[in-house]
Structure 1
Amino acid sequence: MLDVLSDREIVEKDIEALYLGNLKTVEFDIKLPTEGKFGSIISWHSKDDRWIDGTGRVHRPEYGKGDRIVPITATFSYGEVSMDKIYEVNILEEENKIQLEKVFPIVLEKKVNEEFYLPSAVAIQTKRGDVIAHSITWNEEERKRYGDIGEKTVYGRLTDTDYEIKATINIKRNIDIHQDKSTKVNSISTTKVRLKENTLFKKAQDRRLAFLLSVNDDQMLYNFRKTSGLDTKGAPEMIGWDSPDSLLRGHTTGHYLSALALCYAATNNKTIFGKLTYMISELNNVQLAFEANGNYGFGFLSGYSEEQFDLLEQYTRYPKIWAPYYTLHKIFAGLLDSYNLAKIDLALTIADKLGDWVYSRLSVLPNKQLKKMWGMYIAGELGGINESLAELYIYTKKEKHIKSAKLFDNDRLFFPMEQKIDALGSLHANQHIPQVIGAMRIFDTTKEKKYYEISHFFWKSVVNAHIYSIGGTGEGEMFKQPFQIGANISDNTAETCASYNMLKLTKNLYEYENDVRFMDYYERTMFNHILSSTDHECKGASTYFMPTRPGSRKGFDGENSCCHGTGLENHFKYTEALYFTDEESLYVNLFVASEIDDEENGIQIEQKVHDPFSGSLELDIKKLRKNALKIRLPYWHKGAVKILVNQLEYFAKELDGYLVIERQWIKGDKVSIQFAPTLRLEATPDKKNIVSIAYGPYILAAISNQENYLELPINEENLHEKFIRIKDTIHFVYEPEQIKFVPLAEVNHEHYHLYIKQNTLI
């Protein structure tokens, strides 16, 4: 029979004959045959090897992460004919196998006759010691109001388990939920600060400026125009995460708006301003087209329809939908940056209507539904839309906008922070950092102290227990358990978006705290992660992860990923935290060659720094109406600081981590400061023999394509003996083996090591 069948007929019959069983509820490995009934050779390819690979091996998603539908492609070949068939495999998430050690106490304080909701998640500890957030199912309605003073107890259980829990609620006559806390310092506007030429920071900024000038604005508008029914003007389709079939399309356009606004503020480039005004004008036309359509809520604006928002409200899982409020946040942020930084009023008009759309949609949903939505992995990712809505309220004073911001409160993240418990392990890092920025922004507007306490505790938790030496956080996008850094050295560490957002949070907290520890972290992350994240070829590409695996390389992504989006913005933000002021002082926090020209406020200063920064700086005073200069005393400095004022030695007092220089300043005054940076080792908290080598603010990368750890017989005492510094650089050579160490920002495509093994036995 086979003799009379053609090659094509054999392949078609094998495709028809192959049955893989029930693919809708897969829990175990699938047998994928390599030969068809009629003789075809079958090869297999999975679209996502994380859940099922080409051999049929299945890895089920963790409990709480949702099922995964993964297409697997079978290629049938016989003779000269080859044909594909795609099978969709629905892989079920794992059952809840939690083994409980303890539930951290749920204790609430509420005002008599005040309506409130019980938390939908709580911090727990498992028997193996992991601390995580877990959802709660209460035995009664979660909305409460008590009319009498006293202690109340409510019972429930951990969702999908038999573990019982309780909440103790103390009802009091009066509770002050507000905190009278004002900012102690304020940053000098980026419009008043400029980077100096021929530095790593300015070169990175110039490369990104060149890329922005090359971007096709109509391409950035393609998805918006197509969805709203407007002419796409012959523009090419977007690519990557913004391609017409992507569920995240539109997010890069939001980042692009922010990048243009930030670029204009940082450079005053008129062409950039023209591109931004064009984008805003055309997005206004898109929003008006949606309004005229009649099938959308008033004020809607997106690169796709409202369908994903509808599906989220039905608890549809990722990847069937992909973070609709995250994408909306990027558009919001771009509009508000255009208004705030470039003073384009039309951008606020668009954002105002979009804010009304959010309130109209979400204000009618039950609290329980909202909390479940925001707790969903990826699908419920909301970016920092609460931040944008709180900022919008500052401009519009519409109560619905600040109410909308609070509708995004996520108990899975927020309530453990209120408990003062680090339950970040297993949470998606960059899904949650922006939500905390939003909490800070809500505090800025309402002074409700819980939002500040959440933000402050979150920052301390991340910086003290979850960062790599370069300041980045997360492995495979996820927070791990506290202090597990050495155990998570890989190619997929330190997502760049996470550092972008941690710096936003750090700056906001510093303005309230005026604590040098915030600027120590800011410096670490800006100098070592953000500066290192851009390509050196003006292609606009950025690192997604910053690999820490021995012998790894940076991978520069130009296809509209999330980190490509924040990468468009990052290099125009370098001046945001250089300088701050209070009533009496100018604070110099970061040591970057730059110039302040703020004649209106009486500050005109040039900071001269050899780049890369090697410990010395000079401040040329043209005008300074403040009485005091306060220079951050960096954590990496050892010994005495040498200070000269107009070539005369000056003995500055040290106050709260700052060197204080006080005088009546006149034009022509010069201040010279020489810090004493040294080589040092920074060990991972869990594996003390895995260390980074640092000099001053820089983490040094060893240039080597060896894929095992470099094992070097070094300690704090012999570093200067083993490492020879190359003149006029921050480059060092490990003398015995001639291994070169350089700041990570100077590495482009070379293989490198950020961590080495300290071997005292060699």
Structure 2
Amino acid sequence: MCAPPLEAVRLKPSIQKNALEANRRYLLELQPDRLLHNFHKSAGLPPKGEVYGGWEARGIAGHTLGHYLSACSLMFAQTGDKEVQARIQYMVAELARCQAAHGDGYVGGTTVERDGKVLDGKIVFEEIRRGDIRTGGFDINGGWVPLYTWHKVHAGLIDAYRLGKEPRALDVMLGMADYLATILEQLSDAQMQKLLAAEYGGLNDSYAETYALTGNPRYLKLAERIRDRKVLDPITAGKNILPGLHANTQIPKIIGLARLYELTGEPGHAQAARFFHKTVLDHHSYVIGGNSEREHFGPPDVLSPYITDRTCEACNSYNMLKLTRHLYAWEPEAHYFDYFERVHLNHIMAHQHPETGMFVYFMPLTSGARRTYSTPDDSFWCCVGSGIESHSKHGDSIYWENGRTLYVNLFTPSTLDWAEKGMAFELDTQYPFSETVTLRVTRTSGLPLDIALRLPGWCENPAVFLNGKPAAFERQRGYAILKRQWRVGDRIELALPMPLRTEATPDNPRLLAFLHGPLVLAADLGPADKHFEQQTPALVSPDPLKALKPVDAAQHVFRMEGAVPQALTLRPFFNQYDNRTAVYFPIFSQAEWAGEREAFLAAQREKAALEKRTVDVVFLGEMQPERDHNFRSNHSDLLSWQGRSGRQAWWGEGNYIEVDMAVRPGPMVLRALYWGEEVNKNFDILIDGKRLVNERRQAEPVKKFVSVDYALPEALIRGKSTIAVRFETRGSDAPVYELRTLTAGK
């Protein structure tokens, strides 16, 4: 099974084409010379543009250039836009100049900070070559995930060659691949595993693709060696070890295994990919199809405590859709595209603002949340990079074929030129704002062909018509299959009545989300630029579905009667770009509400009070919060417990973890979160080098997280906006999961 080439599909007017056009405008607004700044500087060449801000001004610089090459290549394949192709050609030529200046195949833009100085990141790769490998989990020798960034450029050059039709990209890519290969090939297995403890993106995938392009077994051998055994071996064995792990670190590794299975036939790779995909879908995904909270997987089948403003990182969904394509190619079952459609419509289409073209990092699902968008010049998060790719390829999975059957999996208005079969088609619909999809034959070879239309799993009574009359069809694997010798003008209509339904969180059947057809609904809680100080909406009703009354079913608009504190209007979640929303609703019967109302409201007040008191918060063991708070340590490990990440200063004397935290004038408290069974310790907590307290954790062990508050003396914070908070061992280890600075009081 394969999808037709992207250049064979052209989008017609639709929400997807609007997104594509907004993305194209942004791609052309970006200045290649600014993305190339660090590459030129690393090569000793004069930069031609100032470095961008945000992540591009930090150690991970260069990752955007890789995504940009991929996005432009996809955009060129999707549209044939010559201006976009010219960007690819220019950037590849400049990368070739940089590579020639290095003289050894290296080309990169990463940096590393040493003793207050910003150095060229190439130093890290040469240290690895010598066997000097140090990592705290999110860095290598102090450099911010350099292998992750390397993968983005490697993959971007592959896309530039394959999709962007730029032949010079192959030589640059092979130079890169060989440079890193000479480093990795000489590492021992132990050294390799130590190196792979840090995020490396889909580096195994890019080496597998390099093998596919060249047939050189060197690259296949290396792709197989780039295997984080600590994670991938248990997954291959069918063990869910995801809770507490950084989600998007793992998904690309699995994509690499999927590609290796396609190249080698090794069944363990396919087993891992299938198990991982099913585990994430069935046990770790929210109603919009996305996963993770604060970038990490939580406990399986536990979502209700993790519905926050930092749910569903966009990169995760981008990569899960990639993985889904691999699995579908092996086994054309419609349920894969039921999932694909859910993610694509409810998350990917939500994460780009169609007017500005800017992107959302986390898709917030908590009540009252609003989306935070990137800026054109000063963000460049990972989700901007994956975003410019996602919105360059909306035609890449609409159609699939196996030589005998054309599969229609997504209902996106488009044309397909199937040159290999001498056939062409047009797909017209207003879906998801219409229940009817029409596929017309516009050119035919006269040969028999099967056409398979996906029957969405949410649709109970689909109907199929051929040239205006009810059509007989075979129903297989979730498809309506029509067999015919097609003629020009033949018209298939698919009718998909859209039911209203609910979906509960797996751990709380009384916490519901509402869906209408393929779309997740959300309450419109007002403009995003207005403060939200209401209580969390709840629904008091004996029958939640009957509480929703259609206002405009075609536009998926419903009125929720029985909502407290007031009736609500529900609309599609994805296009509430500038609204505050609520997606999940606590459900009560009248009797339950009478008995639980005060406790529910008290919990809301307590949560609001904590947020109001919080001046700063650090979620330890998580990459971005640690980066944002200048995390440093001499000897520490990452922790994962009960679905939460943390940090542990090593057992002994003088080992520490330290972060910078914001404070403000007035009485303040430092709150630390510990696991209740981690008792009988001995470590100091220091503020700017002065001991605040010696903590022994002398308490009865309990199987839950516990918070401990430490008053911050006024003398330690006077005149300061930030303080350095250090946990330093005095004979034991020092495990901690979360730190907050709070104003004193309640």
Shorter-chain TM-score category?
0.7 to 0.9
Structure 1: how far apart are the matches of 2:299 and 2:127? Answer: 32
The residue type equivalent to 2:85 in the other structure is F
Secondary structure in 1 matching 2:152: helix
- The question of whether the paired residues in 1 share the 8 Å contact of 2:440 and 2:490 is answered with yes
Secondary structure in 2 matching 1:752: strand
Tell me by how many angstroms 1:718 deviates: 5.7
Secondary structure in 1 matching 2:465: strand
Structure 1 position 757 matched with structure 2 position 583: no
Secondary structure in 2 matching 1:342: coil
Q: Pick from 218, 232, 236: which aligns with 2:33?
A: 218
CA separation of 1:512 and 1:634: change in aligned 2, threshold 3 A: same
Structure 1: how far apart are the matches of 2:121 and 2:238? Answer: 40
Structure 2: how far apart are the matches of 1:392 and 1:249? Answer: 23
* Residue 489 of structure 1: aligned partner: 307
* Residue 281 of structure 2: aligned partner: 463
Q: Give the alignment's Cα RMSD to 1 decimal.
A: 1.7
CA separation of 1:310 and 1:485: change in aligned 2, threshold 3 A: farther
* Residue 363 of structure 1: aligned partner: 185
Secondary structure in 2 matching 1:691: strand
Structure 1 position 612 matched with structure 2 position 432: yes
Structure 2: how far apart are the matches of 1:714 and 1:222? Answer: 59
Structure 1: how far apart are the matches of 2:448 and 2:399? Answer: 13
Secondary structure in 2 matching 1:186: coil
Q: Where does 1:320-719 land on structure 2 (aligned, <5 Å)?
A: 320-375=142-197, 380-538=198-356, 540-558=357-375, 559-624=379-444, 625=447, 627-638=449-460, 640-704=461-525, 705=532, 708-714=535-541, 719=545
Tell me by how many angstroms 1:672 deviates: 1.0
Moved more, 608-617 or 206-215: 608-617
Structure 2: how far apart are the matches of 1:707 and 1:564? Answer: 32
Structure 2: how far apart are the matches of 1:488 and 1:754? Answer: 13
CA separation of 1:517 and 1:360: change in aligned 2, threshold 3 A: same
- The question of whether the paired residues in 1 share the 8 Å contact of 2:7 and 2:78 is answered with yes
Q: Where does 1:221-260 land on structure 2 (aligned, <5 Å)?
A: 221-233=36-48, 235-243=49-57, 246-260=58-72
Secondary structure in 2 matching 1:619: strand
Tell me by how many angstroms 1:649 deviates: 1.3
- The question of whether the paired residues in 1 share the 8 Å contact of 2:246 and 2:297 is answered with yes
- The question of whether the paired residues in 2 share the 8 Å contact of 1:311 and 1:321 is answered with no
Secondary structure in 2 matching 1:555: coil
- The question of whether the paired residues in 2 share the 8 Å contact of 1:578 and 1:591 is answered with yes
Give deviations 1:696-734, integer Å, cap 9, x for gaps.
11111111146543211356x662563213164222222
CA separation of 1:707 and 1:402: change in aligned 2, threshold 3 A: farther
Secondary structure in 2 matching 1:627: strand
Give deviations 1:402-434, integer Å, cap 9, x for gaps.
122122101121111122111111110001100
Moved more, 740-749 or 657-666: 740-749
The residue type equivalent to 1:560 in the other structure is F
* Residue 576 of structure 2: aligned partner: 747
Q: Where does 1:271-310 land on structure 2 (aligned, <5 Å)?
A: 271-291=83-103, 297-303=104-110, 304-310=120-126
Secondary structure in 1 matching 2:443: strand
Structure 2: how far apart are the matches of 1:300 and 1:405? Answer: 20
* Residue 602 of structure 2: aligned partner: none
The residue type equivalent to 2:175 in the other structure is K
Structure 2: how far apart are the matches of 1:464 and 1:311? Answer: 42
Moved more, 398-407 or 493-502: 398-407
Structure 2: how far apart are the matches of 1:708 and 1:516? Answer: 40
Tell me by how many angstroms 1:531 deviates: 0.7
Q: Which has the larger radius of gyration?
A: 1
Secondary structure in 1 matching 2:512: strand
- The question of whether the paired residues in 2 share the 8 Å contact of 1:467 and 1:473 is answered with yes
- The question of whether the paired residues in 1 share the 8 Å contact of 2:291 and 2:297 is answered with yes
Secondary structure in 2 matching 1:557: coil
CA separation of 1:759 and 1:706: change in aligned 2, threshold 3 A: farther
Tell me by how many angstroms 1:310 deviates: 4.6
Secondary structure in 1 matching 2:70: helix
- The question of whether the paired residues in 1 share the 8 Å contact of 2:243 and 2:300 is answered with yes
Q: Where does 1:55-70 land on structure 2 (aligned, <5 Å)?
A: none
Give TM-score scaled by structure 1 length. 0.72
Tell me by how many angstroms 1:239 deviates: 1.1
Tell me by how many angstroms 1:290 deviates: 1.0
Secondary structure in 2 matching 1:359: helix
Tell me by how many angstroms 1:262 deviates: 0.7
- The question of whether the paired residues in 1 share the 8 Å contact of 2:435 and 2:495 is answered with yes
The residue type equivalent to 1:562 in the other structure is C
Structure 2: how far apart are the matches of 1:733 and 1:555? Answer: 27
Secondary structure in 1 matching 2:133: coil
- The question of whether the paired residues in 2 share the 8 Å contact of 1:612 and 1:730 is answered with no
Tell me by how many angstroms 1:641 deviates: 2.2
- The question of whether the paired residues in 1 share the 8 Å contact of 2:431 and 2:437 is answered with no
* Residue 599 of structure 2: aligned partner: none
Structure 2 runs not aligned, ≥5 long: 111-119, 526-531, 594-746
Secondary structure in 2 matching 1:422: coil
Structure 1 position 203 matched with structure 2 position 25: no
The residue type equivalent to 1:634 in the other structure is P
Structure 1: how far apart are the matches of 2:61 and 2:448? Answer: 48
Q: Pick from 3, 10, 14: which aligns with 1:194?
A: 10
Moved more, 722-731 or 557-566: 722-731
Give deviations 1:206-236, integer Å, cap 9, x for gaps.
1011111111111111110011111212x12
Secondary structure in 2 matching 1:747: coil
Structure 1 runs not aligned, ≥5 long: 1-184, 292-296
- The question of whether the paired residues in 1 share the 8 Å contact of 2:451 and 2:483 is answered with yes
Structure 1: how far apart are the matches of 2:269 and 2:188? Answer: 22
Structure 2: how far apart are the matches of 1:373 and 1:241? Answer: 23
Moved more, 336-345 or 607-616: 607-616
Tell me by how many angstroms 1:394 deviates: 0.8
* Residue 315 of structure 1: aligned partner: 134
Secondary structure in 2 matching 1:587: strand
CA separation of 1:626 and 1:460: change in aligned 2, threshold 3 A: farther
* Residue 139 of structure 1: aligned partner: none
Structure 2: how far apart are the matches of 1:447 and 1:214? Answer: 43
- The question of whether the paired residues in 1 share the 8 Å contact of 2:541 and 2:547 is answered with no
* Residue 725 of structure 1: aligned partner: 551
* Residue 81 of structure 1: aligned partner: none
- The question of whether the paired residues in 1 share the 8 Å contact of 2:42 and 2:108 is answered with no
Tell me by how many angstroms 1:299 deviates: 4.1
Structure 2: how far apart are the matches of 1:338 and 1:411? Answer: 31
Structure 2: how far apart are the matches of 1:566 and 1:617? Answer: 29
The residue type equivalent to 2:387 in the other structure is G
CA separation of 1:519 and 1:728: change in aligned 2, threshold 3 A: closer
Secondary structure in 1 matching 2:322: helix
Give TM-score scaled by structure 2 length. 0.73
